[in-house]
Amino acid sequence: MDIMISVIVVAVIIIACVFANKLTSKLGVPALLAFLFLGMIFGSDGFFKIPFDDYGFTEQICTVALIFIIFYGGFGTNWREAKPVAVRSLFLSSVGVVLTAGLTGVFCHFVLNIDWMMSLLLGAVLSCTDATSVFNILRSKKLGLKYGTASMLELESGSNDPWAYMLTIILISLVKSGGEIDLWSVVYMVFAQVVYGVVIGVVIALLAVLALKCIKFVGEQFDCLFLVAIALLSYAVPYILGGNGYLSVYIVGIILGNVKLKNKKGMVHFFDAITGLLQMLIFFILGLLSNPSQIPQILIPALFIFVFLTFIARPLATMGILTVFRSKLKQQLLVSWAGLRGATSIVFAILVIVSNTYIKNDFFNIVFCIVLLSVGIQGTLLPFFSKKLDMIDKDENVMKTFTDYSHESNVKFISVEIGLSHKWIGQKIKNITLPPQTRIVLIERGKERVIPVGKTILQSGDVLILSTTGVKTNSDVNLKEIEIDSKNKWCGKRLCEIKFDDCIVVLIKRGNISFVPAGQTRLHENDTVVVIDE
């Protein structure tokens, strides 16, 4: 009976989180903030008085959740979109983290009179921006930003967790050693964290790609289960060897997310569901662990740290780096404001507590309070500041930063089989009249796939794949975007004048308009051409 009651409670909590997500989307408040508050409501200081103070269990659960969230953050990063801003993003996620941590630590020590090691640990756990929070707000609000800013923020927030984790681990080691600094130990720790994390991540990713391309699994769901194992492996192996597991996981995610894989859309849908549930879990359980009754005691120092972090430390680190890259001032200001602290900072705070370094609830409560302020204030006002800084690009789709094109295009597919008595048998494609906005994009002839051209003659038994809008999607079709600039060899040419190698154009996006092209359609500069990639 007790087990069934627990099951009911879990079901009620998940339902509450789902409805909270719907409510917050209407109110313009980040959904993750609602999950935190729900946890607080169910917690020991809330209405339901569920006693929960197991930091060790929470750290283990959140670590596993972060593995999949960080992996999917990398998996969903469109490298082609992120590449132009990759260098500055990686500087923000490494040098930016160190600068933010150092400035915050100095402030906590000299202004708030907190001892040095606790100050530096506060700076370390608060130095990273939260990928989950940033991804959630950018995509839920569909914030298409100018100058590749969305890609920059996603790449930065996805890759700075490993650096904050590394700082936290180094500082914990220093505290345990009584503050005695062994320079060579620190140097080796940094070397192991970065090098082992990168090398092992790349090796595991390449082996995983080879396996996915060479092995045909029994069902599509086993592709997804294979990736689950790869994500866990890519964290555990470098961790055992002293490397940075989070860095390895992120690299594996990026590599796998940017190669052509079978069942890519199924993988995306699977990890969408899993990470969505884990995001609810991680924020709810952190809210459950918190003690709202103790927040008034630490509210003043937490508020001071939040103000310094948001308006001084983060801007100095961000603008100092982006100025070197000659980024526009309004972009620098927006990137600075978008430095949301989230669940990662709280998880790292728990890591400090369970390491027997600082067994003080104040440490956890301060970090928790700062996260509440950050997600609540910065997250809620991010769309507002984006608009005020004139950084919203109405022609830019934030989903282009994501690798699964099915979420960003209204092109759909339907299959039509040519029966024995069909009137199209023996006809050339150019002589067939199709409905408006419809085109034959592929012919399946037995085990052969034929790329159709105007003179292709249809045969009995052919299965035609037609592109159109608003019909059932064929999940076996792989789509790829091609941006047409002035230097592209296709620019200014009609489709009938272009020789396509194993691909065919199915959709053209021109400004705010998407249309199915014909052979006489001429490609213009800034067109986005969607092709089936064989």
Number of Cβ within 10 Å of residue 102's Cβ equals: 17
Closest CA to 250 of 159, 348, 134, 129: 159
Mean pLDDT comparison of 197-211, 281-295, 378-392, 408-422, highest-scoring range: 197-211
CA separation for the pair 188, 114 (Å, rounded): 29
pLDDT tens by residue, 302-336: 999 999 999 999 999 999 999 999 999 999 999 99
Question: Hey, what domains does the chain have and what are their CATH numbers?
Answer: 2-48+55-390 (1.20.1530.20), 406-533 (3.30.70.1450)
Find tokens 């690798």 and name the residue: 403
CA distance 118 to 137: 31
* Coil/strand/helix, residue 511: coil
Which band of pLDDT confidence, cut at 50, 70 and 90, is reported for residue 433?
confident
Q: What is the dihedral of CA 243, 247, 249, 252, to 10 degrees?
A: -110
CB 450 within 8 A of CB 443: yes
* pLDDT (average), residues 108-130: 92
User: What average pLDDT does the segment 362-390 reach?
Assistant: 90
CA distance 378 to 339: 8
Task: Tell me what percent of the residues of the chain surpass a pLDDT of 70.
Answer: 87
- What residue type is assigned to position 359 of the chain? I
Per the prediction, the chain carries an average pLDDT of: 83
Q: Name the nearest CA neighbour of 164 among 210, 212, 129.
A: 129
Per residue in 3-45, pLDDT tens?
Answer: 777 688 778 877 887 777 767 666 556 677 788 888 888 888 8
| Sign of the CA dihedral with 161 first, then 166, 172, and 175 last | negative
Q: Using the predicted structure, report yes or no on whether residue 400 has a pLDDT greater than 70.
A: no
325 SS3 class: coil
pLDDT tens per residue, range 105-114 = 999 999 999 8
Q: Is the pLDDT of residue 402 over 80?
A: no
Radius of gyration from C-alpha coordinates of the chain: 26
Give the pLDDT band (50/70/90) at residue 399.
low
Contact 230, 271 (CB under 8 A): no
Instruction: Indicate the pTM of the whole model.
Output: 0.74
Over 178-228, what HEC string results? CCCCCHHHHHHHHHHHHHHHHHHHHHHHHHHHHHHHHCCCCCHHHHHHHHH
Question: 213-222: long-range contacts at Cβ-Cβ below 8 A with a sequence spacing of 24 or more?
Answer: 213/261, 220/263, 220/266, 221/266, 221/270
DSSP 8-class letter at 53: -
Q: Is the pLDDT of residue 473 over 50?
A: no
Please give the Cα distance from 222 to 230 (Å, whole number): 12
Amino acid letter, residue 481: E
Instruction: State both tokens at 412.
Output: 């759909």
Q: Provide, rounded to the nearest whole percent, the portion of the chain with pLDDT above 90.
A: 29
DSSP secondary structure of 401-439: GSS-GGGT--EEEEEEE--TT-TTTT-BGGG----TT-E
Residue indicated by tokens 């038994």: 461
Q: Tens digit of pLDDT for each residue in 188-217?
A: 888 999 999 999 999 999 999 999 888 877
Average pLDDT over residues 342-366: 82
SS3 534: coil
Query: What pLDDT is stored for residue 408 in this prediction?
Result: 43
439: left (phi over 0), alpha (psi -120 to 50) or beta: beta
Residues 244-288 pLDDT 10s: 999 999 999 999 988 878 777 778 888 888 888 888 888 889 888
Q: What pLDDT is attached to residue 210?
A: 92
